[in-house]
Structure 1
Amino acid sequence: MYIYLNGLFVGLLILSNIISVKLFSVGDFILPAAAIVYVVTYLITDVIGEVYGKDAAMRTVKAGLVTQIVALLFILAAIHLPAAEAFGMQSEFEAILGGSFRVMFASLLAYIISQHIDVNVFHRLKMKHGTQKLWLRNNLSTASSQLIDTAIFIAVAFVGTVPTGVLFSMIITQYVFKFVVAIVDTPFTYLLVKIARKEKPNPLFHTEVKAS
């Protein structure tokens, strides 16, 4: 289960970077498509931390950072490969996969800071409440880290290019959406923790007692 969770984690990270160029609307609000994917990564690190411990969750976060950097390097390499004459969509390929260095940097910076906050808040709450109230530490850690993630990404990626009022509107809109998704996926956190704990304990990690 640990391997599958890590595979899903890095896969969703890369997917969120690829689909972030697509914007969708919910009423009058506009959001990047990555919003529906990226928030799930916090659920996964919470599950890993709950079952396998804080060190395992931090290793997952670091592995995700390395994977994103490697993926970006290969994407940039693919973009700059000489296009064959039969391939008539080079500009579209660049537009979808290229992005800008500033947006890429904003994404990586927000990721590494917010994921560390998520793991640390989750385990501080666990030290305080023990194995009780998984729903509380799951939602509080995600709520705090998602606020930091959204604020950093929007500020670094768009400050100076859009009015300040629009920046705050983008931060609030994306954060509210992510927070709602985080609450909705709480039952899936319990489900994944239950499935992981049914497996034979991995000798590499300290498996903790079942949460109530």
Structure 2
Amino acid sequence: MTETTGDIRIKAASTPLGLFVYTLVYGGMTVLAGVLAFKQVQLYPTDLAVEAGIFAFLLLVVISSTIAQLYGEKLANRIVWWGFLPLLISALLMQLVLNLPASPEMVEGRPADLAAFEQVHATIWRVWAAGPAAYIVSLLLNVWIFSRLRGSDENTGTLSLMMRGAIASALSQAIDSVIFITLAFYGQFPIGNLLIGQVLAKVMLSIVLVPFLITGGVAFAKWLDGRKG
């Protein structure tokens, strides 16, 4: 039986608001994570440094885990895979913009701004390829670990949610660092110290931030959906 336009509209209207909002935010974070990654920030009061894209990436972890918690593992994996689409479109648009000639006004009046833009965004191909590879493996791993730790349907209390979120995020973030740094920089310089520092920093952030972010994320999605409890 062929699905009518009316049927499609009814299905679209019945999509939970929490799922709709989080899907929009997820797509934005896939793009923003790559932009923020160009700056390294210090994790006070330690000397550990981490690329700032981790903050957007942690939101990707929280959103994918929240979707798995409330709407199912299958849908969470689908969101992760489709997260490639805004990532791909943004990368293609960036290449288009980089290859288009700058306006004469910018070349003559703001040459420093033009040079800074091109220097930041004209990354080498290894870095460009490493990001999506690390993204898909680590996010799918996060959803898988989070869902496996859930066990029975009754294991859904706040403490369980916080612990599962932290463990899944810490492990997936460690794998993300290993994949990205190895693919992007192996052979160019010794990566041992950078790799250890990134893993420690991301695991620490996962343990400190994710339990509270995922608890708030689940509560917010339930509020948007009009759920109780």
Into which bin does the TM-score normalised by the smaller protein fall? 0.7 to 0.9
Mapping for residues 65-104 of structure 1, pairs under 5 Å? 65-87=84-106, 88=111, 89-104=113-128
Aligned equivalent of 1:148: 175
> Are positions 1:9 and 2:26 aligned together?
yes
Contact map agreement 2:28 2:86 (CA 8 A) in 1: no
Structure 2: 5+ residue stretches without partners? 1-17
Aligned equivalent of 2:15: none
Deviation at 1:55, TM superposition (A): 1.6
- Identity over the aligned pairs, expressed in percent? 26
C-alpha root-mean-square deviation of aligned residues, in Å?
A: 2.1
Deviation at 1:199, TM superposition (A): 4.0
Greater C-alpha Rg: 2
> Are positions 1:193 and 2:212 aligned together?
no
Flag the 1:4–1:200 CA change in 2: closer, same or farther, 3 A.
Answer: closer
User: Matched residues in 2 for 1:179 and 1:34: separation?
Assistant: 14
Aligned equivalent of 2:66: 47
Aligned equivalent of 1:126: 150
Aligned equivalent of 2:188: 161
Contact map agreement 1:42 1:115 (CA 8 A) in 2: yes
State the aligned residue count: 201
Aligned equivalent of 2:198: 174
Structure 1: 5+ residue stretches without partners? 202-206
User: Matched residues in 1 for 2:216 and 2:40: separation?
Assistant: 31
Equivalent position to 2:163, from 136, 156, 159: 136
Deviation at 1:4, TM superposition (A): 1.8
Q: TM-score, normalised by structure 2?
A: 0.80
Q: TM-score, normalised by structure 1?
A: 0.86
Aligned equivalent of 1:113: 137
Flag the 1:19–1:196 CA change in 2: closer, same or farther, 3 A.
Answer: closer
Aligned equivalent of 1:204: none
Q: Secondary structure at the match of 2:105?
A: coil
